[in-house]
Chain A
């Protein structure tokens, strides 16, 4: 179990998907309609650049102290999916854009 979990955690950054109800999206819409939610998940170890190592070094040498910096590439959507429209519980139509990821990458 543990080894399997560890391996899963080290999966590289990729697109995954979930079937979720619109209400569960937490955007304030009330609708039982199910949509496909695609998200980016995985690690970005392979994408560490000299930039990240240097930034880390600057931080550990306290050359950068107060600013919020990120010294690790991050698995994020590179492009978003097309719009998603749905009918809510009050029979009104809504359209949400950039809800779902289309392509993932380490940035």
Chain B
């Protein structure tokens, strides 16, 4: 086990002991500051360097593999492992969106937290670090671009301006073209596109391009329908969003929760966009940026949200699902769906971004903690669920667990496919011979230009002869 011990690990056991000895600080907000949330990959390393932690963690992972919470907690060894791990840095750890090894980080996070939650909770705490920057930071950067065309501020199409700003930035242009070409490439008559590849390309765009570009494209404000339709088309909904059938929203949520990434992004959305009556803006901590960021973080997953129509007056957002066929869970389904369709926080955040307004907060508290503290108070109360007789664990679980773990951790090494389209023919047919190109241009100026072009070689040849 200590093979993963980093070479400079001398202070770590100390740090670990202190954190183990200290009082449990569930929110990671210890006033003394020595229990700052550490990312889960790092926390895993810290745990691996400490024999008792690493053995408990291994036990817990084996306990969780393929078992529901009650089954797991009925086992004493599993219970003990969970209790010990709540004191370890693994308990407080968080992940960063788009970080290196994000999936690994989230797998570690959920391996602990799935044991802590009651299982099918309506809202789950976000595994991501709280967003500390504010919308104004994006405006500041976006203003650099809007400064490019000062004449067209009043009557312009903001979504078109956003596309322009993206096209003029090499990184944004490359990744935008990447997902657009992937999502609009027809595979066959029956398959309009590869949804899987389209989603992957969209995730790359929203993870790797800064918010000042992506937010402008997604949340531009519109006065006419052409603009609103362009806004709706941003994520190439025909491929990434729409489907033959609309599944039930709770079924869609279950599908999403089987995937660590989708589950995390959904939890992040619920943490940052959940409407609250405790703030002016209806947003947790009045933090619009956090809400918009977690909204964008859902794009490219099963729960991909989008504008339902090209209306300019009312903004309605929804994932591709409905509450038909909910049975006795109709109410829960509606509640879930309304967090998208009728969410004042999300709507205010989108409108505020479109209008270029942010909440004015005193500069002294720029970043109220947004992430809901994990439900620490309820976790140690382990129910004595004796009804569940399925308490016999044996070593055979270990192999199942590790094989699942290894499968999950395997990096996806599929290479980015090269981008090649029918337009190749079009452009190469038109471009190689300059004559064709010039002939297409109408107007008399072309003749004059032609004369100049003829004169230039003569002038240049002059000294050479």
Contact = CB atoms under 8 A, between A and B. Distances in A.
Nearest to B422: A95
A97 interface: yes
B160 A32 contact: yes
A70 to B, nearest CB: 10
Interface residues on A, range: 20 to 34
Interface residues of B, number: 37
B167 to A, nearest CB: 5
Interface in A53-95: 53, 56, 72, 82-87, 91, 93-95
Interface stretch (B80-88, B108-116, B171-179, B406-414): B171-179
Given A84-B167, A85-B180, A33 B457 contact: no
Given A19-B168, A97-B419, A99-B427, A82 B163 contact: no
- Secondary structure at the A interface, as helix, strand, loop or mixed, is mixed
A46 to B, nearest CB: 12
Contacts of B460: 43, 45, 72
B303 interface: no
B443 to A, nearest CB: 12
Interface string A14-50: 0000010000001100001111100000010100100
Interface string B403-425: 00000000000000001110110
Nearest to B457: A72
Contact of A97 (B178, B424, B456, B464): B424
A107 interface: no
B193 to A, nearest CB: 11
A20 B181 CA distance: 21
Contact of A83 (B419, B441, B456): B419
A91 B428 contact: no
A98 B427 CA distance: 8
Contacts of A86: 163, 167, 180
A89 B177 CA distance: 17
Given A32-B160, A91-B229, A95-B184, A85 B427 contact: no
A11 interface: no
A62 to B, nearest CB: 16
- Most-contacted residue by chain B among A19, A34, A45, A85 (CB, 10 A): A85
Given A32-B160, A87-B163, A95-B423, 10 more contacts: A19-B164, A19-B168, A34-B167, A82-B173, A85-B176, A91-B233, A95-B180, A97-B427, A98-B424, A98-B431
Interface of B: 157, 160, 163-164, 167-168, 173-174, 176-178, 180-181, 183-184, 229-230, 233, 236, 419-421, 423-424, 426-428, 430-431, 437, 440-441, 456-457, 460-461, 464
